[in-house]
Amino acid sequence: MPKTITLQLSPKQAADEKFYLARAAERLGIRQSDIALARVIKRSIDARQRMAKVNLSLEIYIDKEPMPAPLNFDYPAVDNGTEVIVVGSGPAGLFASLRLIELGFKPILLERGKSVLSRKYDIAQINRGGDINPDSNYAFGEGGAGTFSDGKLFTRSKKRGDYNKALQTLVWHGANPEILYEAHPHIGTDKLPRIISNICHTITEHGGKVLFESRVSGFVVKNNRITGVKVGDNTIEGAAVVLATGHSARDIYELLHKEGIAIEAKPFAMGVRIEHPQHLIDSIQYHRAERGEWLPAASYSLVSQEAGRGVYSFCMCPGGFIVPAMTDTRQSVVNGMSPSGRNSAFANSGLVTEVRLEDFAHLREEWGELAGLRYQQLFEELAREHSGERQVAPAQRVSDFVAGRASKSLPRTSYIPGLTPSRLDEWMPENIGARLRSGIATFGRRMKGFVSDEAIVVGVESRTSTPVRIPRDSETLMHTQIEGLFPAGEGAGYAGGIVSAALDGERIADAVARYCKAHNF
Ligand SMILES: Cc1cc2nc3c(=O)[nH]c(=O)nc-3n(C[C@H](O)[C@H](O)[C@H](O)COP(=O)(O)OP(=O)(O)OC[C@H]3O[C@@H](n4cnc5c(N)ncnc54)[C@H](O)[C@@H]3O)c2cc1C
């Protein structure tokens, strides 16, 4: 049996393998040469003290003990398997497809956007203030919304086995094995595209199909059973349909609504993106002027209750960039991403508050279950009215936002299309703006320096979660009304983030397999 030990080290010592192996041997009372294999199984930073420490847990194999078997994913060939349609190549759709292959089914993966290579070009255009391709942007295209992101791999799921398998799947497809033991693993936007295209390659190599620029615009439903989907003038048939279109696919919600297929309005969250100079967050979190060479860019996670509702930070991107995440020119929507080295001069994070059903009750009569979606859209359009040309976003210094005064100028930003000073404190709906202002003031009391002239709020962060749920049966995981339709991932309202969407995709694939077997498909 390997021995497990945890060492508390300085950041420099934790980066020095020779040093920590010597320390481990000493702790175990063995010679360093007796160590046949040492695996880091967990690494976390404890920055509560003046001098930050790294807790490093190691699994030590001594001499000829049996080593762990190398990781191997043995996907079968599914060329002749039952065809299952998967709509959307985000984490939910990709992991559903991989799991379907493991189970012997042939996924036909339909993606409205382009492959990552062509998508990169469209994204560069958006950043340059060019046109927004409604099918190829930060939300749509190979890999979905997670491809050009920070690639944080966080989940609240308690199923560690499933979580570890998801991380190992990413490592198998090219992610750095460090994600297996980091306390807060992330991949980075420079690495994600290659991993995503490797996953698509696995799908096609084993007999599945991946079809880009294939936007689903209709469902083929007979006697309350779905038998296929429409892409342009073509009909594609399959034994079941996994609908994993993400929360930006408004046309899909509208289509379901129009076809009388049940959807439900649900609470969600909206707010702003907040950006600080990274050195400011480092100095607050590490209690010193300079973070130095060995510590990573610092992050934070904040939550408070303001006037009876939660206000919280979300999708923090240390050393990152704010990006234009709209899917259409009529909106102003921002989000965040970071490269693997998290080495930009800025720290950004979503700062959002709950939006409840009563906030959009006035839209219910006209919009029915799409009322929350409409409320979200109006918020984004309001932000657009206060924006500049193209993707120039409205922004205010954090100190001014909290104090309720105009910003005459703005500090430097990571947001490439540029910013225009705007009174976010005035034009945001009261239920959002007032809570954010008092929430930020609360955070400023906890993190001295958080409310700063050097920091900005940028409008708007509106796509943190979906305002619509596509209901599914809790046992079969199938749509409550349409047989063979399996809503999955974030857009269906059952996930939030890359890993939870991936895990939901896997679960849905298992449910599809049960359904197909029960019906001999
Ligand atoms: C900039 C940014 C940064 C983010 N950073 C992180 C992070 O660091 N960590 C994290 O956990 N989460 C992050 N997220 C959120 C994360 O990306 C999502 O939670 C996750 O991608 C949801 O997965 P999904 O598969 O459910 O949907 P999506 O990823 O949204 O994928 C849906 C896919 O369906 C396709 N599609 C839509 N409609 C159709 C149609 N009609 N026909 C065919 N295809 C269609 C879309 O093009 C898209 O590719 C970030 C999001 C953004 C935008």
SS (H, E, C) 235-274: EEECCCEEECCCCCCHHHHHHHHHCCCCCEECCEEEEEEE
Cα gap 347→300, rounded to integer Å: 10
Q: What is the pLDDT of residues 298-326, one digit of tens each?
A: 999 999 999 999 999 999 999 999 999 99
Crossing angle of helices 116-127 and 192-205, in 10° steps, is 150
**Best mutation site among 149, 170, 506 for ligand 1 pocket (most ligand atoms within 8 Å of CB):** 149
| Nearest protein Cα to ligand 1, atom 52 | 145
State the pLDDT confidence band at 407, using cuts at 50, 70 and 90: very high
Q: Where are the domains of the chain?
A: 3-62, 83-262+470-518, 265-461
State the closest ligand 1 atom to the C-alpha of 155, by its place in the atom list counted from 1. Answer: 11
For the chain, give the mean pLDDT.
95
**Best mutation site among 133, 138, 140 for ligand 1 pocket (most ligand atoms within 8 Å of CB):** 140
What is the CATH code for 83-262+470-518?
Answer: 3.50.50.60
Q: Is the pLDDT of residue 273 over 70?
A: yes
Ligand 1 neighbour 111 (Cβ under 6 A): yes
State the closest ligand 1 atom to the C-alpha of 338, by its place in the atom list counted from 1. Answer: 8
Cβ burial, residue 123 (10 Å; 0-12/13-18/19+) = buried
Q: What is the pLDDT of residues 214-256, one digit of tens each?
A: 999 999 999 999 999 999 999 999 999 999 999 999 999 999 9
State the closest ligand 1 atom to the C-alpha of 139, by its place in the atom list counted from 1. Answer: 53
| Nearest protein Cα to ligand 1, atom 2 | 149
Cα gap 496→393, rounded to integer Å: 25
| Nearest protein Cα to ligand 1, atom 12 | 497
Classify each residue of 61-96 as buried b or exposed e, where b means 16 or more C-beta atoms within 10 Å of its C-beta. Answer: bbeeeeeeeeeeeeeeebeebbbbbbbbbbbbbbbb
Kindly state the average pLDDT of the residues 84-90: 98
Ligand 1 neighbour 490 (Cβ under 6 A): yes
Ligand 1 neighbour 146 (Cβ under 6 A): yes
pTM for this structure?
0.95
Residue 485's pLDDT is 98
**Residue located via tokens 């379907």:** 100
Query: Contact at 8 Å (CB) between 95 and 153?
Result: no
Q: What's the CATH architecture for 3-62?
A: 2-Layer Sandwich (3.30)
DSSP assigned state of 68: P
Give distance in angstroms: CA of 139 to centre of ligand 1: 6
Cα gap 52→494, rounded to integer Å: 37
User: What DSSP assignment string belongs to 348-411?
Assistant: EEEEEEEE-GGGGGGGHHHHGGGHHHHHHHHHHHHHHHTS-STTPEEEEEHHHHHHT---SS--
Q: Is the pLDDT of residue 404 over 70?
A: yes
Cα distances (Å, whole numbers) of residue 164 to 135, 188, 401, 459: 32, 19, 41, 36
Ligand 1 neighbour 318 (Cβ under 6 A): no
| Nearest protein Cα to ligand 1, atom 4 | 149
State the closest ligand 1 atom to the C-alpha of 88, by its place in the atom list counted from 1. Answer: 34
State the pLDDT confidence band at 158, using cuts at 50, 70 and 90: low
| Nearest protein Cα to ligand 1, atom 35 | 88
**Best mutation site among 498, 499, 507, 508 for ligand 1 pocket (most ligand atoms within 8 Å of CB):** 498
Q: Which of 214, 173, 194 is nearest to 88 (CA)?
A: 214
What's the full length of the chain, in residues?
521
Ligand 1 neighbour 497 (Cβ under 6 A): yes
Amino acid, single-letter form, for residue 289: A
Residue 389's pLDDT is 86
Cα gap 469→243, rounded to integer Å: 12
Maximum distance among all alpha carbons in the chain?
75
Residue 345: CB atoms within 10 A of its CB come to 11
Q: Degrees (nearest 5) of the Cα angle 380, 382, 387?
A: 90
Residue 315's pLDDT is 94
Residue 154's pLDDT is 81
State the closest ligand 1 atom to the C-alpha of 489, by its place in the atom list counted from 1. Answer: 26
